[in-house]
Structure 1
Amino acid sequence: MSKASDDARGEVTASWLVVFFKGVCMGAADAVPGVSGGTIALVTGIYERLIAAVTAVSPGRIVDVLGGVAPDGRTDAVQALREMDVRFLLALGAGIATAVVSITRVVHVGITDFPVPTFGFFFGLIAASAWVLFSEVEMDTPGRIGAAVAGFVFAFVLSGQAAASLGTSAPVTFVAGAIAISAMILPGISGSLLLILLGQYEYMTGTLKAFVDGLLGLALGGPVGPVAESGVVVVAFMLGAVVGLFTVAHAVRWALEHHREPTLAFLVALIVGALRAPVVSTTNQLAELGRTWTTEGYAVFAVAAVLGAVLVLLVDRYAGLAEIDDEEDTAARSVD
């Protein structure tokens, strides 16, 4: 094999490793509410490619890929895989999954054992996200104001009642997956925030932790029961996410393209209304631990919230710089 061929193969491997690590960054963001994986995609320069790849996934192309098992269908299958940018999605998805599995284990411990600073940090992340998005919205028409009111009321009511009213059944998990995946194409909106809003965040982080622990135990000769029990939930969530790619994500994309301002108004108000969720979750978790709010607890919550807000504002600043660089590059190419 020639040196040129080795160098070319090394460059390809390096490029996919870069995509993988960008996925790790996105997954780390998506694992916590407030910081959007979409924003990280924008900062790292892969947002447009991600949107193109996600929206290219369609039932027709999936059928073409499945038809590749027959010799006469392989050409169409290869073409469909290229149009969906599958190599990119696989490398990025592997990075996202690696980070989500790792981060959620830590987050779940924080939620169960240290709820005040953990949910305080989440509160700051969510509040700063609302502030960042608010700068892009003008509440100057009845339609936008109405959309904002609807978003706030929906989130405020749901964030206080979802965990108790929705429960943790397989259908609810399926729907949660379909809704959470839509955050992939929304800079500023986190999939974890949507899970908190639906009252599924603590349940899913705990289930994912149990699933990974079960897999590790099974590899060491342990029972299959823990894997099967938590695996049903994980599969339901993933199936919901796949369906969401064909439905919810496309619907959100359409709404942003055709009714951008009212949609953003709804989303910003949704985030503001969702600020109730971390407070309610903290209170509930403290009750489970046999504790209540204290003056020290309020102070810790506030400090953690400030830290979370600063993190989002820093990420947004870098995202803004990334957008400016993209616009300058586009302008330079148009001149050339």
Structure 2
Amino acid sequence: MGAADAVPGVSGGTIALVTGIYERLIVAITAVSPARIYAVLTGILPDRRADAIEALRAVDAGFLVVLGAGIATAIVTITRVVHIGIQTVPVVTFGFFFGLIAASAWVLFSEVAVDTPARVGAAIAGFVFAFVVSGRAAATLGTGLPVTVVAGAIAVSAMILPGVSGSLLLIILGQYEYMTGTLSSFVDALLALVTGGPIAPLREHGAVVVAFLLGAVVGLFTVAHAVRWALARARAATLAFLVALIVGALRAPVARAGTHLAELGRTWTPTAVAAFSAAAVVGALLVVLLDRYTGIAEIDGETQPD
């Protein structure tokens, strides 16, 4: 799940569905509440231990801890590789992302019926929102700590969004490159500190990582529940919005590749277009193969036949 969520296009939820833990994950996440967190934190008191144990069982704590450790390990590893790719071969990397996103949208569109005015309206709104925001968000929002908190809150909602990865939402918000670079720098600073390095870089990058995690916790109680409410009240229209959101997000990798080319003093040449297209084909094939291999698409949080 961590490897899938570290790159845009493939949802970690899809992997959870394939491995049969999706429903357990959703139940565990939505069972987390301020009251249960308080019960766990006060479990150090002798007369509160029973309540703490009950709260831990209610949120399936052992499952979440083990799963979280695996996700965190994969994210730290994959984002480092992605960050190196963005810095060294941006056109190929963003072309690969484009293919992942495009194929994911194609697979999910085959499972969503956009056949009513409400669904058409929702699809148009999702496309326009993603297309406009993904082209301007990076320059408009910046990279301040408040923005990082908001990005974390929105990204964590991807755990219950059908077919949408947290990294795709970060790309739409223009925060993906910043967060992958910051996470890599934070790990480097942590390793350097262990070997006697300075603590200043750890504080600088650690503040951003903590802000993102804080946003993720806030998102568990706000954005994630709001999305679940929308799926319960207007499931078909919400799914149409989400799938169209993925399509609109296709602007982001093209725009980011163009930005990196401009920073290098280059433009879109036939060679650059060919490299971008070839990488996109590879990314698309991976998604199609995943869909064919599993025989399912992640729609509605249920297993759907192709």
Hey, what does 1:7 align to over in structure 2? none
Asked if the contact 2:14/2:297 (under 8 Å) is kept, the reply is no
Pick closer, same or farther for the CA change 1:322–1:159 going to 2, 3 Å. closer
Hey, what does 1:97 align to over in structure 2? 72
Asked if the contact 2:111/2:297 (under 8 Å) is kept, the reply is no
C-alpha displacement of 1:282:
0.2
C-alpha displacement of 1:251:
1.1
After superposition, the C-alpha distances for 1:101-144 in whole angstroms (9 at most, x for unaligned) are 00101100111110111000000000111111111211111111
Asked if the contact 1:256/1:263 (under 8 Å) is kept, the reply is yes
Largest Rg, 1 or 2? 1
Partner of 1:211, secondary structure, is helix
Hey, what does 2:33 align to over in structure 1? 58
Partner of 2:51, secondary structure, is helix
Separation (CA, whole Å) in 1 of partners of 2:111 and 2:154: 23
Spell out the pairing of 1:1-336 with structure 2 (5 A cutoff): 26-320=1-295
Q: Which amino acid counterpart does residue 181 of structure 2 have in structure 1?
A: G
Which ranges of structure 2 fall in alignment gaps of 5 or more residues?
Answer: none
C-alpha displacement of 1:59:
1.1
Q: More displaced, 61-70 or 117-126?
A: 61-70
Pick closer, same or farther for the CA change 1:105–1:320 going to 2, 3 Å. same
Separation (CA, whole Å) in 2 of partners of 1:48 and 1:157: 34
Separation (CA, whole Å) in 2 of partners of 1:168 and 1:263: 29
Separation (CA, whole Å) in 2 of partners of 1:150 and 1:278: 20
RMSD, matched Cα: 1.5
Asked if the contact 1:42/1:319 (under 8 Å) is kept, the reply is no
Separation (CA, whole Å) in 1 of partners of 2:264 and 2:183: 22
Separation (CA, whole Å) in 1 of partners of 2:160 and 2:45: 34
Partner of 1:292, secondary structure, is coil
Separation (CA, whole Å) in 2 of partners of 1:98 and 1:265: 33
Partner of 1:133, secondary structure, is helix
Pick closer, same or farther for the CA change 1:78–1:322 going to 2, 3 Å. farther
Asked if the contact 2:162/2:239 (under 8 Å) is kept, the reply is no
C-alpha displacement of 1:42:
0.6
Which ranges of structure 1 fall in alignment gaps of 5 or more residues?
Answer: 1-25, 328-336
Q: Which amino acid counterpart does residue 219 of structure 1 have in structure 2?
A: V
C-alpha displacement of 1:45:
1.2
Asked if the contact 2:5/2:167 (under 8 Å) is kept, the reply is yes
Query: TM-score, normalized by length of structure 2?
Result: 0.95
Partner of 1:139, secondary structure, is coil
Larger fraction in helix: 1
C-alpha displacement of 1:321:
5.1
C-alpha displacement of 1:290:
2.1
Hey, what does 1:332 align to over in structure 2? none
Separation (CA, whole Å) in 1 of partners of 2:125 and 2:145: 28
Partner of 2:295, secondary structure, is helix
Separation (CA, whole Å) in 2 of partners of 1:321 and 1:125: 17
Q: Which amino acid counterpart does residue 62 of structure 2 have in structure 1?
A: R
Hey, what does 1:13 align to over in structure 2? none
C-alpha displacement of 1:49:
0.8
Asked if the contact 1:30/1:37 (under 8 Å) is kept, the reply is yes
Q: Which amino acid counterpart does residue 175 of structure 1 have in structure 2?
A: V
C-alpha displacement of 1:67:
2.4
C-alpha displacement of 1:258:
2.1
Asked if the contact 1:45/1:322 (under 8 Å) is kept, the reply is no
Q: Which amino acid counterpart does residue 227 of structure 1 have in structure 2?
A: L
Asked if the contact 1:37/1:187 (under 8 Å) is kept, the reply is no
Hey, what does 1:11 align to over in structure 2? none
Equivalent pairs counted in the alignment come to 301
User: What percentage of aligned pairs have identical amino acids?
Assistant: 74
C-alpha displacement of 1:254:
1.7
Separation (CA, whole Å) in 2 of partners of 1:277 and 1:69: 48
Separation (CA, whole Å) in 2 of partners of 1:284 and 1:251: 34
Partner of 1:215, secondary structure, is helix
